[in-house]
Structure 1
Amino acid sequence: MKFLKPVVALGALLALPVAFAAAPSFDSAAVEVGSGAKVQMVRISAQSNWDRKWFVSNNYHLSGYWDANLAQWRGSQYQNRSGEHQNITVIGLTPVFRYERADKLGWFGEAGIGVSLFSHLYDNDDNRLSTAFQFADHIGAGYVLPNKWELSARIQHYSNGGFKKPNSGVNFLVLKAAYRF
């Protein structure tokens, strides 16, 4: 099973150029704020809709989009020392599946698993991540307004998938506001 982990990581990295080639233009942008155990995050992101529909039924369908993002984290207990801070920049790309109405308005649910690259190794409040490469997965729900604004909440988890220890993972509650062009 351990031989599978490097193959998955390499596949994810090789998929990045394909993802950007498949996303010729972005059609929405978002600002996100998140909070976890003694760490806060602010993130900007741009999305490119896949323009695909699966499992169409009763005015709902499964669709998806690419999410390219840039975040800044601020940990308030660096190396488990109260008052010590750690700032980390994170860049990521996530394919996201969304279950939504046919008109893309109203309530939706979504989930995604992507890849992220950290500027520094995370070491905050007894949580440590031993690699700069991390998987970023989330599950969330939101509402799209008729004026093209979208509001959502999600649970976000970062982890290296057990490639290297320590790998305690980092969790956030994230609030997102997005606008569709």
Structure 2
Amino acid sequence: MIASRTPWIAVAGCTLLTLPTPGLAIDSTSLEFGAGDHTKMVRAGLQWKWQRQWWKSNGTHLGGYWDASLAQWRGNRFQDVKGNTQNITSLGITPVFRFQRDSMKGFYAEAGIGIHYLSERYDNGNRQLSTRFQFGDLLGIGYVFQNNLDVGIRLQHFSNGGYRQPNDGVNFAFVRVSYGF
């Protein structure tokens, strides 16, 4: 049993070591609305920008931020029965890489892979996740306005990476609104 949990312990430990240190100011906050696979989700998040920038060229760079999130999922086909609902709370932390202008305004593209803990195992619409710990892969595009309002869309896939079966995965499409301080 301990050996089967070793990968999760290693991932959690590495993530905790790279979290922002207490006392650092929050850089932005976000609210997201999404749907997919007979499930709706609302998610709130806090973000901390990285100070590091890579591949600086022509007024652009690759940067990023930590995204800590709390979400509520509501499935409408619990155990594949139409009308049965399943409510799940998700807590997650994701390092997000963002390709953007040096001014931090205008269009951007982003991607990340984080870890999420679900309050219960997902069983909705003929899709099941056998574990509460899930990886969340995301791709997004958006635009940051002059007043630091950030509006974007994201695609996100949740899966345990094949760690345990069943692992059908869950996909969402999101609209994301964020405000930078």
Change (3 A) 1:52 1:33: same
In structure 2, C-alpha distance between the alignment counterparts of 1:131 and 1:162, rounded to whole Å: 10
TM-score (structure 2 length as normaliser)? 0.94
> Which residue in 1 is equivalent to 2:151?
151
Asked if the contact 1:19/1:66 (under 8 Å) is kept, the reply is no
> What is the CA deviation profile of residues 39-97 of structure 1, one whole-angstrom value per residue up to 9, with x for unaligned ones?
00000000000021100001000001000000000000000000000000000000000
> Which residue in 2 is equivalent to 1:49?
49
Q: Output the aligned Cα RMSD.
A: 1.5
In structure 1, C-alpha distance between the alignment counterparts of 2:50 and 2:67, rounded to whole Å: 11
Partner amino acid, structure 2, of 1:87 = N
> What is the CA deviation profile of residues 85-115 of structure 1, one whole-angstrom value per residue up to 9, with x for unaligned ones?
0000000000000000000000000000000
> What is the CA deviation profile of residues 153-181 of structure 1, one whole-angstrom value per residue up to 9, with x for unaligned ones?
01100000001000000000011000001
TM-score (structure 1 length as normaliser)? 0.94
How many residues are paired up? 178
Matched-pair identity in %: 43
Q: Which runs of 5 or more structure 2 residues have no equivalent in the other structure?
A: none
> Which residue in 1 is equivalent to 2:18?
19
Asked if the contact 1:98/1:110 (under 8 Å) is kept, the reply is yes
> Which residue in 1 is equivalent to 2:167?
167
Structure 1 segments of 4 or more deviating over 6 A?
none
In structure 1, C-alpha distance between the alignment counterparts of 2:154 and 2:69, rounded to whole Å: 15
Partner amino acid, structure 1, of 2:8 = A
Q: Which runs of 5 or more structure 1 residues have no equivalent in the other structure?
A: none
Partner amino acid, structure 2, of 1:127 = R
In structure 2, C-alpha distance between the alignment counterparts of 1:161 and 1:19, rounded to whole Å: 21
1:1-181 → structure 2 map (5 Å cutoff): 8-22=7-21, 24-181=24-181
